[in-house]
Structure 1
């Protein structure tokens, strides 16, 4: 979805993790999701999403995806955005014009710190949208999967 797009997608659905591939969890629809253990340990991708969110997104959208006077609370927005809509907005940006309350989300398509971790960002914000992960840095995290390290290296070194 690009600048000025107003089409609405379906809500993301049940976030329950049902399948794991190389340390990344997916819901019944095959969309990236989080996995939080009974002791509070989060999967690596949720933790990575927390780190990337606070490096790239919190300046506008506030700490912990809770919003600011400048941009909306993504933990609330993600209750209505599915993965594809989230991805489209991050890649292409978005412009909202509402009765003098205009806002612009810039496109991040050329930002490797966002694009190499877009699934992680989605997973973290999805976990915040359901309160599966609380405010602040997760205290416990799973080990970094080898597949994550390999994908990260490949993406960050790509031209």
Structure 2
């Protein structure tokens, strides 16, 4: 099961490698059915001047707060035993983020042990990993505050179909 989940996510990473060049690196370079990509083809967010967010950023907010905030704190701000992801995403690549979540991570040093469990078999995380990433990226870039987005796009049919396929019957 774990290999399947990791393979599914890595296939998703490959599918995101179709970005277009953008003159402004703070704006999405491309979009397909409500899902946005940056100039490097990595998933990204879209936030309108009125604060309306794309579906995936909103979904990421919900998924982050259902699965990740217990360790990494509300809004990605960190806790006493897990780092603030708003800081981590300033230097982690999309691929590094995917690998860390799927495979976990263990840092031991100076009598301090930090362990990120492997979540590659957790469908509540892996099926929404791009969503979680774009939410945290928006937080890391300072584009989204410590709030639940009040207004968001409707859930695209593609998101519904992917959710059904990933979560199973």
TM-score (norm 1): 0.89
Q: Which residue of 2 aligns with 1:59?
A: 70
CA separation in 1, counterparts of 2:154 and 2:113?
A: 42
Q: Which residue of 1 aligns with 2:118?
A: 107
1:22 to 30, 33, 36: 33
CA separation in 2, counterparts of 1:61 and 1:55?
A: 12
Once the two structures are superposed, residues 90-134 of structure 1 have per-residue CA deviations (whole angstroms, 9 ceiling, x without a partner) of 000000113112100000000000000010011000000011111
1:1-159 correspondence to structure 2 within 5 Å:
14-157=25-168
Larger displacement relative to structure 2 (20-29 or 93-102) = 93-102
Once the two structures are superposed, residues 37-74 of structure 1 have per-residue CA deviations (whole angstroms, 9 ceiling, x without a partner) of 01000100000000000011000000000001110000
Aligned residues: 145
State the superposition RMSD in angstroms. Answer: 1.0
Once the two structures are superposed, residues 126-153 of structure 1 have per-residue CA deviations (whole angstroms, 9 ceiling, x without a partner) of 0000111110211111111110011001
Residues 87 and 118, structure 1, Cα contact 8 Å, conserved in 2: yes
Question: Is there any run of 5+ residues in structure 2 with no aligned partner, and where?
Answer: 1-24
CA separation in 1, counterparts of 2:85 and 2:34?
A: 24
TM-score (norm 2): 0.83
| Greater RCO (Cα-Cα under 8 Å, separation 6 or more) | 1
